[in-house]
Amino acid sequence: MSAAEILKTYFGYDSFRNGQEEIVQSILAGKDALAIMPTGAGKSICYQVPALMLPGITIVVSPLISLMQDQVKALNEAGIHAAFINSSLTETQIAKAMRLAAEGRYKIIYVAPERLESAGFVQFAQNGRISMITVDEAHCISQWGQDFRPSYLKIVAFIDSLADRPIVSAFTATATKEVRTDIECTLKLHDPQVVVTGFDRQNLYYSVEHIAGKHKDAFVLDYIRKHADESGIIYCATRKNVDNLYEKLSQNGILAARYHAGLDNDTRKKNQDDFIYDRVQIVIATNAFGMGIDKSNVRFVIHYNMPQSMENYYQEAGRAGRDGENAQCILLFSVQDVMINRFLLEKKEFEGMDADDIALVRQRDTQRLRVMEGYCKATTCLRNYILEYFGEKASTPCDNCGNCHREYTEQDMTADAKWVVNCIAEMRGRYGLNIVLGTLLGANRARLKEIGADAYKSYGILKQRSEADLRLLIDQMLAEGYIVQTGGEYSVLQMGDISRLKEKGARVVVRKAQEREEPAGRTRKKKTDSLTGAGFDLFDRLRQLRLTIAKEEAMPPYIIFSDKTLIDMCAKAPRNQTEMLAVSGVGENKYQKYGERFIQEIGAFLAENPNAVVSTQIDE
Ligand code: ADP
Ligand code: ZN
């Protein structure tokens, strides 16, 4: 079989994606390969397809147990003999797997890097026929990266111990220039074919919402209600935020799972599984969640707080839309987030590092935070901001992010800013935001009279302004440090560093966002756009069937079929084997296992809804 035939027969896909074929062909020509492709680009296919065509076994080194298990399940579902050997197995299970491997029962074997040091495994590899070593998450080999795994350094010695050097292929989603060179050198790749497909993930819609802390819950609630039925992750900066939001959602009747380091292992595992197996749609988590989560149908990732770096943000937000369908990445930003992050960095401990290094790391952290803050405050294309940061040339604005769909007007509010300062001075920093606003606007409130605010010079001085404008102004002044807001239960506004405000030429500029009406036809086409109301009903039925099967097989639903495949099934409404095999993501083996049940379900639906039009052609 040719590579294209393998792709169709086992994986059910009609064509390779950008970059895949180049890697596959160069591996088949016996060349080493290094592929840097973003999450969801389809790295696994790049080594799985050639693995099936090479004469011997492919050993895949992977850092995470959960990833290996997922991959092996997916391969077995596709009818490919694969296994993993790692510490989640008992000694007896390992012995059995090794015996079967030695008998040549597996084409692909996943191992943790530590396994390469075990005498038994080395012996197996020396006696068996190993065609390729694939290093997944190859950036783990670099000391530059955040995920350095010392055991990755042993891979080379293992390769050297084999009499015939196998082909070596390495894959990663994150590689700055340093890391890339590190991978090439440390792994001793021989003149590798290097393929870099770029960072951009066109199916992700980025947006930043400026929302004061206490209004964030309302935003999340509203969003979830409007996106019922969609799977999503909500990242919070702290455990406490996770717990609070979890409470809030429960009170409002929304089922969610939560995940943070304060929960015991079993609870964490259970909550994670609930999410992966689609038993709950929403997970609220700290950044401890997500390593090794391969769930493909995550439709949104909301950041309740600003993360500490763009690297973190891109990785976490990138868990959305792995299936290539549209997904949203929303960051809820408030000025407090910056202050909290600064505080966390100050508090960060550096054990066993010398003073110079500490200074360097601090500097780097501060710089990263600044970049992240820049993203939150950017008024131009967010996608381009990200791409430029990761060293890619960005071209025209993407027309697929919050800022591209928004217009900003700038307003010079320097004079108003000085009155805010005066007002806080008159109050001697004893009152909070609402009192300050009320005073400046000259509100007729009993509370203001009670404290004598109506006698202030600043009382009513800005009454021609709207409250919303003044809120924006105060946000801006907080961000620039002219005033500060104390934490705690009763938070008050106090004077910050106003020296710069007194300088000549000082300006306080407030940017106001205006949502632009979407001109018809401008938004990106979604796969589901072609589905009619009846089409969505059918999609729901197919999802139900998938869930039933997933339970029977004790398998995550997305391993049975991805959302994308189900949508294609709705659009094509296959009635027989040939038509079913034409659906993207339906290979021979999956057809044998599940094809008929889906054909029946579709048939039943069409019989019950004889006049239903499930899908209409839309222009791509
Ligand atoms: P990565 O490891 O790069 O994050 P995956 O290997 O998990 O990405 O692939 C992401 C998704 O894309 C999977 O659902 C996979 O089945 C799908 N996919 C990969 N290659 C193709 C292709 N050629 N055509 C259609 N879908 C593909
Ligand atoms: Zn944009």
pLDDT of residue 335: 80
Query: Containing H/E element for 168?
Result: strand 167-172
The predicted-structure confidence for 351-399, as pLDDT tens digits, reads as follows 777 777 778 778 878 888 888 999 998 888 999 999 888 778 777 899 9
Rounded mean pLDDT, 32-52: 92
Nearest CA to ligand 1 atom 24: 13
The predicted-structure confidence for 13-38, as pLDDT tens digits, reads as follows 999 988 999 999 999 999 999 999 88
Confidence category of residue 317, pLDDT binned at 50, 70, 90: very high
Rounded mean pLDDT, 543-547: 94
Nearest to 455 by CA among 426, 432, 412, 429: 426
Strand order in the sheet with 204-210: 204-210, 327-333, 298-303, 231-235, 282-285, 256-259
* Interatomic CA distance for residues 54 and 585, integer angstroms: 23
Nearest CA to ligand 1 atom 16: 42
Nearest CA to ligand 1 atom 5: 42
381-to-299, 365, 397 alpha-carbon distances in Å: 21, 24, 5
pLDDT of residue 515: 65
The token pair that represents 511 in the structure block = 């940017």
Identify the nearest ligand to the CA of 207 by its number: 2
Nearest CA to ligand 1 atom 25: 13
The predicted-structure confidence for 390-437, as pLDDT tens digits, reads as follows 778 777 899 999 999 887 788 899 999 999 999 999 999 999 998 999
C-alpha of residue 282 to centroid of ligand 1, in Å:
23
Q: Is the pLDDT of residue 39 over 80?
A: no
pLDDT of residue 517: 55
Confidence category of residue 100, pLDDT binned at 50, 70, 90: very high
pLDDT of residue 14: 92
| 296 CA: nearest ligand 1 atom | 14
pLDDT of residue 520: 40
Rounded mean pLDDT, 492-503: 89
Nearest to 201 by CA among 310, 297, 290, 322: 322
Ligand 1 mutation pick, 13, 202, 564, max ligand atoms within 8 A of CB: 13
Rounded mean pLDDT, 109-125: 93
**What φ, ψ does residue 105 adopt, rounded to 5°?**
-80, -20
236-to-54, 285, 304, 378, 604 alpha-carbon distances in Å: 45, 6, 5, 21, 44
CB 582 within 8 A of CB 574: yes
Q: Could you tell me the end-to-end alpha-carbon distance of the chain, in angstroms, rounded to an integer?
A: 32
Nearest CA to ligand 1 atom 19: 42
* Interatomic CA distance for residues 1 and 3, integer angstroms: 7
Rounded mean pLDDT, 194-205: 89
The predicted-structure confidence for 160-191, as pLDDT tens digits, reads as follows 999 999 999 999 987 677 788 889 999 999 99
C-alpha of residue 60 to centroid of ligand 1, in Å:
17
pLDDT of residue 620: 42
| 37 CA: nearest ligand 1 atom | 3
pLDDT of residue 175: 66
The token pair that represents 477 in the structure block = 């002044």
Q: Is the pLDDT of residue 488 over 70?
A: no
Rounded mean pLDDT, 502-521: 71
pLDDT of residue 359: 81
Q: Is the pLDDT of residue 519 over 60?
A: no
The token pair that represents 558 in the structure block = 């997305």
C-alpha of residue 17 to centroid of ligand 1, in Å:
9
Whether the model pTM is above 0.75: no
Ligand 1 mutation pick, 7, 9, 11, 319, max ligand atoms within 8 A of CB: 11
**What φ, ψ does residue 448 adopt, rounded to 5°?**
-70, -40
pLDDT of residue 502: 86
C-alpha of residue 53 to centroid of ligand 1, in Å:
19
* One-character DSSP codes across 65-130: HHHHHHHHHHHHHTT--EEEESTTS-HHHHHHHHHHHHTT--SEEEE-GGGGG-HHHHHHHHHS-E
Q: Are strands 406-412 and 509-515 parallel, antiparallel or unpaired?
A: antiparallel
The predicted-structure confidence for 259-305, as pLDDT tens digits, reads as follows 999 999 999 999 999 999 889 999 999 988 876 677 888 999 999 99
Percentage above 70 pLDDT, the chain: 95
Rounded mean pLDDT, 243-262: 94
CB atoms within 10 A of CB 386: 24
Identify the nearest ligand to the CA of 171 by its number: 1
C-alpha of residue 394 to centroid of ligand 2, in Å:
10
Residues with CB under 6 A from ligand 1: 13, 16-17, 20, 37, 39-45, 296, 322-324, 562, 584
Identify the nearest ligand to the CA of 23 by its number: 1
pLDDT of residue 234: 97
pLDDT of residue 523: 47
Confidence category of residue 481, pLDDT binned at 50, 70, 90: confident
Nearest CA to ligand 1 atom 26: 13
C-alpha of residue 366 to centroid of ligand 1, in Å:
36
Rounded mean pLDDT, 151-155: 92
CB 49 within 8 A of CB 7: yes
Identify the nearest ligand to the CA of 400 by its number: 2
- What is the DSSP secondary structure assignment for residue 325, as one 8-state letter? S
SS3 586: coil
CB atoms within 10 A of CB 104: 12
Confidence category of residue 521, pLDDT binned at 50, 70, 90: very low
Strands in 237-370 per DSSP E: 256-259, 282-285, 298-303, 327-333
Nearest CA to ligand 1 atom 10: 40
| 16 CA: nearest ligand 1 atom | 23
SS3 411: strand
